[in-house]
Amino acid sequence: MHMVIMDRMELGEIETVRERASALAAELEPLAAEADASSELHPGVLAAVTASGLSALTVPAAWGGASEKVDPLAVCVVREVLMGTSSHADSLFALQGIGSHAIALGGSDEQREEWLPRVASLEAIAALAMTEPGAGSDLKALTTTATADGDGFVIDGRKSFISNAGVADFYTVLAREGEQYSFFLVPANSIGLTVEPLPPLISPHVIGDLGLEGVRVGGGARIGAAGEGFRLALSTLATFRISVAGAAVGLADAALREAARHAGERVQFGRPLAELGPVAALLADSWAEVESTRLLSYEVARAAREDPLANLDRSSLAKLAATEAASRVVDRCVQVMGRWGLVDGSKVEKLYRQARPLRIYEGASEVLRLGIARRLVAEVGAGSQR
């Protein structure tokens, strides 16, 4: 049901990744409804994802990963497959990279050797802690501080809506260090670190708030040099934002398959729903959006393999297009399925709820549009001066 333009060698590599992810998704299918309805880490999903070995794709090979550098296309494909079955598994997989990538890029030898092999094998669960109650898209508004104290640092502040809060073994925490912004590696068992659950979300997720009150870490806890926080944050987004587009494509594709199956079997007015003009239009428009955003996502992910930061705006473009399309597609699929699309616990109803957060996390659509527009104007302006 999908078409992708790749050279033969690349296609073989990616299809191998897809086959491994598909095998995991098939194993997870009986667990998916229960896991996706829970805000706690599902042990069966954890065991299956661990056994699959796919988490190695989120870490460079030097520390137990699958390839020399994290491959955005491989991560994108895995998320596409997993999201169509279980958002719980998709999140667990993706956050291993999102939560640890700052260490891979800027960490010390000690930090990398202690944590990254365990991230690759899923022996240690990672989490990224940037967002705060007053700092979402505007990270410069964050108030968490890291103050030098003797041979270490003391971290104080509050982080909000942190994925994997409460189950992570460590957090990469963005904090103010004087007038600069730096990342710090904070083990989950640090004294003064507390976790508070959030109210239930529209789509259950392992998430919570972090309190950091006088959390003391050693002098080796800073990730990279002082003031490298935003560079490491942008580099993480540059590698992993495109995978959100992959997840959106997988969600939309799964919803479309459910709707197409229903439309082919359900008879109204003497013929299958799919043969009624308005329903056919809903299906056709949805398929066009799934395939076009898949192609865009894969092409951008391939470009991000070579230079993630140079392609961050295009990753934002793919994320915007795919997540907005996923919401439209799944809405049409509910319409195609009629009352069956409204049943609590049905696959399409679950996907309908899961589609909505995609347009907010890792760059809200409205914020992404600003950067995309700036890039467009700059490129047009540069072109007109040639």
For 71-115, write each residue's pLDDT tens digit.
999 999 999 999 999 999 999 999 999 999 999 999 999 999 999
Q: Say if residue 60 is in the same domain as residue 179.
A: no
Give the CA distances from residue 319 to residues 201, 265, 294, 364, 373, in Å, rounded to whole numbers and listed in that order.
22, 33, 11, 10, 14
Q: Say if residue 346 is in the same domain as residue 252.
A: yes
Quote the tokens at residue 15.
């299809």
Q: Say if residue 251 is in the same domain as residue 352.
A: yes
The residues near 104 (Cβ < 8 Å, ≥ 6 apart) are: 59, 60, 63, 70, 112, 116
Model confidence at 8, in pLDDT bands (50, 70, 90)?
A: low
Model confidence at 6, in pLDDT bands (50, 70, 90)?
A: low
* Number of domains comprising the chain: 3
Residues shown for the chain:
386
Least confident of 220-224, 252-256, 280-284, 358-362: 358-362
Residue 207 scores a pLDDT above 70: yes
Model confidence at 1, in pLDDT bands (50, 70, 90)?
A: very low
In one letter, which amino acid is 242? Answer: I
Residue 3 scores a pLDDT above 50: no
pLDDT > 70: percent of the chain: 96
Mean of the per-residue pLDDT values of the chain:
93
Integer-rounded Cα Rg, in Å, for the chain is 21
Rounded Cα distance between 37 and 87, Å, is 10
Residue 177 scores a pLDDT above 80: yes
Q: Say if residue 107 is in the same domain as residue 142.
A: no
CATH number at residue 262: 1.20.140.10
Tokens 């914020």 correspond to 367
Q: Say if residue 93 is in the same domain as residue 59.
A: yes
- How many of the other CB atoms lie within 10 Å of CB of 230? 15
What is the predicted pLDDT for the residue at 158?
97
Residue 147 scores a pLDDT above 60: yes
Residue 67 scores a pLDDT above 60: yes
Is-contact 100 217, C-beta < 8 A? Answer: no
Q: Say if residue 240 is in the same domain as residue 341.
A: yes
**HSE value, Cβ hemisphere, 13 Å, CA-based, for 1:** 16
DSSP structure class, residue 189? T
Q: Say if residue 206 is in the same domain as residue 236.
A: no
Model confidence at 7, in pLDDT bands (50, 70, 90)?
A: low
Residue 343 scores a pLDDT above 60: yes
What is the predicted pLDDT for the residue at 276?
87
**Domain assignment of residue 385, yes or no:** no
Q: Say if residue 271 is in the same domain as residue 336.
A: yes
CATH number at residue 146: 2.40.110.10
**Domain assignment of residue 313, yes or no:** yes
What is the predicted pLDDT for the residue at 267?
84
Residue 2 scores a pLDDT above 50: no
Model confidence at 116, in pLDDT bands (50, 70, 90)?
A: very high
User: Closest Cα to residue 149, out of 226, 227, 219, 220?
Assistant: 219
Question: What is the span of the domain harbouring residue 137?
Answer: 126-227
Residue 283 scores a pLDDT above 90: yes
Q: Say if residue 134 is in the same domain as residue 274.
A: no
**Domain assignment of residue 94, yes or no:** yes
Where does a domain end: 198, 227, 256? Answer: 227
Rounded Cα distance between 3 and 58, Å, is 25
User: Closest Cα to residue 72, out of 274, 297, 267, 239?
Assistant: 239
DSSP structure class, residue 135? B
